[in-house]
Structure 1
Amino acid sequence: MHISEGVLSAGVIATSSIILAPLILNSVRKLHADDISKVALLSALFFVVSTIHLPIGVTSVHFMMLGIIGIMLGWHSFTALLIALLLQAMLIGFGGISSLSVNTLNTGIGALTGFYLFKLLKDRLPTAIVSFLVGFIPILVASVGIAVALLFSSDDFLIVAQTALLAHLPLAFVEGIMMVFLFKTLQKYQIKGLNI
C-alpha cells in the first residue's frame, strides 16, 4: 500500500498535498484533548499492523485496519494516518516523504469510507454483514486510490497499478473477516462509544 519514494510525478504529489492540507488542518483544529489518546492509539495500531507484509505473487500487501480506524476516528483518521506514515517513512523506510501525502490521502479516504459505511448500514443490516463490509471496502477504496495515483504519474505504471489493485482483493477479504471477529469481541465487551 505504501507508494515508495521517487515513484510519483510532481503533479500528483502537489495535487495530493493541496487536497490533504485542509483535511489535516481541519482535523487538528477540531481535535479535543479527549481525542488525542485515541488518535495516538489508532496511529500506533496502523503503524504496527502495516509492518506485517503478506507476499502475493510478484508483490506484497500489508494489513491496515482502516475500517476500525475510520469508525473510531472519523475525520481524525487523516491525522492518525499521517503520523503513522511519517514515522514509518522516517524510522523504517516504508513509503517515503515525497509520497506521504498520497499515501495518507489514500488510506484516509479508505478509513473515512469505513466511517460513513458504518453510520449508514449499522441499523439496516446484520452486524456480521456490516462488519465485513467495513473491513473489505476501505481496502478496495485505498487500493483504487493507489492505482489512480500511479496512473496519473506515468502511463508506464499501468501494469503496476493493475497488479496493486488485484493484489489487494485477498487482503480486503481477510480484513473483512478479521473485522467480523473484531466486532463480535467489541460487542461482547460492549466497548463504550462504539455503538455496535
Structure 2
Amino acid sequence: NHKEGQSCDCAVLHSRHPVASFFHLFFRVSAIVVYLLCELLTSSFIACMVTIILLLSCDFWAVKNVTGRLMVGLRWWNQVDDDGRSQWIFEARKVSAQGSKASSEAESRIFWLGLITCPMIWVIFAFSALFSFKVKWLAVVIMGVVLQGANLYGYIRCKVGSRKNLTSMATSYLGKQFLRQTVAKDDQTAS
C-alpha cells in the first residue's frame, strides 16, 4: 500500500504525465526496434527506411515540442533573425512560488535516460554500418544520430545554460580540482 508522504520508486505512481512519458520512449525505441528487425520482416529497404525516418521525425517533434516541456520543464528552438543569423533560444520553467516542481523525479530520469541512451545506440549503429560496409543503411543511421543528437544538444544547453556558462562551469570545476589537489599535497608534505 502506498500512503501519502511515503516514497515509492514506482515511476507510474510518480508520473504526472504518463502519456508524455510513454511517447517520449515509444518513438525512439520503435525506431531502434524497426532498424534491428527490418531485414527480418521485409525485403523492402525503402519501406524500412521510410518507417524509421517517420518514427525518428515523430520522436524529434514530440521530444522537442511536448515531452521536454512537460517532463522536465525545458524547451529550445532555433530562430532566424531578419539579418539571416541563426539564433538558438533556450528556456527553463521557473520554480513555482511554493517551491514545488511541475515534473517528478521519475519523469526526469525517464526523460534524460531516453535522451542520452538512444543517440548513443544510433552512434553504435553508425559505426556498425560503416565497418560492415552497409552503405545503404548509413544514411538512415546518420539521420538517427542527427535528429536525436540535436535534441540531446538542445536539452543539454537548456539544462546547463549557454556555451559561455558551460565554459565557465568547466573552468570553475577544473580550478577547484586543481586547488583541492594542491591543498592535499601541501597537507601531506606538512605532516
TM-score interval, normalised by the smaller of the two chains: under 0.3
TM-score normalised to the size of structure 1?
0.27
TM-score normalised to the size of structure 2?
0.28
> Bigger radius of gyration, 1 or 2?
2
